[in-house]
Amino acid sequence: MSKEVISILVFDLFIVVIPLLLYLYPPKEINYTFGYRTKRSVMNIDNWNFSQIFFAKRWLLVSVVVILTQLVIFFTANINLTKEPPVIPIISMIEFFIGSIFCYFSTENQLKRMNNEK
């Protein structure tokens, strides 16, 4: 297996394991070191607990989409990973960045709705 494929697999491992850990083991108490931390999420414990799970689910979905995109590109585009520019990692990073922004805004909107309903 080439060095390029190994680096892509390591990236994939991280982008799946981190949200999975956040989902399975969300931080129980409000803290400023681990978890989804924004002004809204640390307002109260209900927001905190909700935002940890909600964000982790969205982030896990983004991770799966990134990996599926990688597989489609890898098997259909006939890219030589050793000679071509790093197309798959670049697309994956852009997609992951955009997906993370989606996760942030969807979580914040949901928290806003929750707070307005109270």
> pLDDT tens, position by position, for the chain (118 residues)?
677 777 888 888 888 999 999 999 999 999 989 899 999 999 999 999 999 999 999 999 999 999 999 888 888 877 776 666 778 888 889 999 999 999 999 999 999 999 998 6
What Å distances lie between residue 1 and 80, 82, 89, 105, 112, CA to CA?
A: 13, 11, 16, 38, 47
The reported pLDDT for the residue numbered 71 is 85
The reported pLDDT for the residue numbered 7 is 80
The reported pLDDT for the residue numbered 1 is 61
pTM of this structure: 0.86
Domain spans in the chain, listed from the N-terminal domain onward? 3-117
For residue 109, give the DSSP letter. H
